[in-house]
């Protein structure tokens, strides 16, 4: 991650932009967020457009882009979050998850979703 990413400690965020493919925007402070993402999302059907599942203190939260943005191919932009226990305790539904998590990242995403890359080259 770079300094261009939002500062949200412990949160893992996987998404794609208008022209860039899936990537971890936030890594939860882990050198490789993929194993934790796979652990928390293990029970989530990959075809489900929205999900909220608590797994051992973390929440797997998926929802389509709240602004209904689509990529260059017309696909809905999904947002997958691994929400750590402290913030995740209050999340019982997708709607509550959107209400709590989206404001933390939405301003940053507004700036980069249609950029060529999600972060500036450093």
Q: Which residues contact 88 (CB under 8 A, 6 or more apart)?
A: 54, 57, 58, 59
pLDDT at 4 over 70: no
What are the CA-CA distances from residue 96 to residues 29, 49, 87, 110, 114 (Å)?
Answer: 24, 16, 11, 21, 26
pLDDT tens, position by position, 22-40: 999 999 999 999 999 999 9
pLDDT at 1 over 50: no
pLDDT tens, position by position, 71-104: 999 999 999 999 998 888 899 999 999 999 999 9
pTM of the model: 0.90
Q: Which residues contact 93 (CB under 8 A, 6 or more apart)?
A: 52
Residue 7's pLDDT is: 63
């Amino acid at each position: 991650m770079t300094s261009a990413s939002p500062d949200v400690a412990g949160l893992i965020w996987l998404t794609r932009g208008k022209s860039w493919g899936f990537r971890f925007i936030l890594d939860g402070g882990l050198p490789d967020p993929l194993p934790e993402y796979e652990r928390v999302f293990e029970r989530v059907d990959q075809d489900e457009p929205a999900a909220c599942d608590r797994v051992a203190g973390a929440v797997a939260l998926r929802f389509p882009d709240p602004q209904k943005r689509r990529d260059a191919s017309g696909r809905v932009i999904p947002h997958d979050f691994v929400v750590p226990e402290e913030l995740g305790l209050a999340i019982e539904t997708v709607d509550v998850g959107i209400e709590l998590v989206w404001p933390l990242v939405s301003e940053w995403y507004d700036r980069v979703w249609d950029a060529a890359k999600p972060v500036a080259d450093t």
